[in-house]
């Protein structure tokens, strides 16, 4: 893994605007995939939002003052799982090991909480992301869900059993 990227850090609420810019730029890579602030109220105070749910959001700062990558993990106690969201990487950082390093934080978080699974939903258009999740061991589950958002998003469901996963270092 390339370790040339900056250090992973916990998100702050003032990451709101740069995180929104990263997500909007990622969405712009796909046809009919629009970023609309009103559909992402959690971005107004991202650190507080995830902390209030017992979760975490990790950020990697980019060299341009923006955000190079992000990933959030939120416990779902009723499923004994952790849901992964906000998985984004700027194009210049894709393939650098940045996303794997962010995922390692989430995996350590899930294991420290004693969760048996990780899960996520991903826009059906994000094929590159799906390959990344599958490389990490996630399996696509049957069915899709429709979000009825401005982009008319359909999502695939992915799950990863943590049974037999090597124990990761404790989260920072």
pLDDT of residue 5: 54
User: Given a cut of 90, is residue 163 above it in pLDDT?
Assistant: no
Portion of the chain with pLDDT greater than 90, in percent: 88
Q: Are strands 117-123 and 139-146 parallel, antiparallel or unpaired?
A: unpaired
Q: With beta carbons less than 8 A apart as the criterion, state whether 96 and 109 touch.
A: no
Helices (H), the chain: 16-27, 46-52, 98-112, 127-135
- Please choose, from the candidates 76, 15, 82, 24, the residue with its C-alpha nearest in 3D space to the C-alpha of residue 43: 15
Domain 8-161 of CATH type 3.40.30.10 = no
Q: How far is CA 134 from CA 61, 104, 120, in A?
A: 26, 15, 12
pLDDT of residue 60: 97
Provide, for the chain, the percentages of residues in helix, strand and coil under a 3-state DSSP scheme, each rounded to the nearest 5: 35, 30, 35
């Amino acid at each position: 893994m390339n370790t040339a990227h900056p250090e992973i850090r916990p998100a702050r609420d003032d990451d709101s605007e740069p995180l929104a810019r990263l997500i909007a730029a990622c969405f712009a890579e796909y046809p009919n995939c629009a970023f609309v602030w009103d559909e992402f109220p959690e971005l107004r105070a991202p650190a507080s939002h995830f902390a209030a749910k017992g979760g975490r959001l990790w950020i990697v700062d980019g060299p341009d003052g923006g955000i190079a990558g992000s990933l959030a993990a939120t416990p779902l106690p009723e499923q004994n799982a952790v849901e992964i969201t906000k998985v984004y990487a700027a194009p210049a950082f894709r393939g650098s090991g940045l996303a794997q390093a962010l995922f390692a934080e989430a995996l350590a978080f899930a294991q420290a909480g004693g969760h048996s699974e990780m899960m996520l939903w991903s826009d059906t258009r994000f094929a590159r992301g799906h390959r990344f999740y599958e490389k990490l061991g996630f399996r696509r589950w049957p069915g899709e869900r429709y979000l009825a958002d401005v982009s008319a998003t359909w999502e695939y469901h992915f799950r990863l059993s943590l049974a037999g996963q090597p124990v990761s270092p404790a989260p920072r």
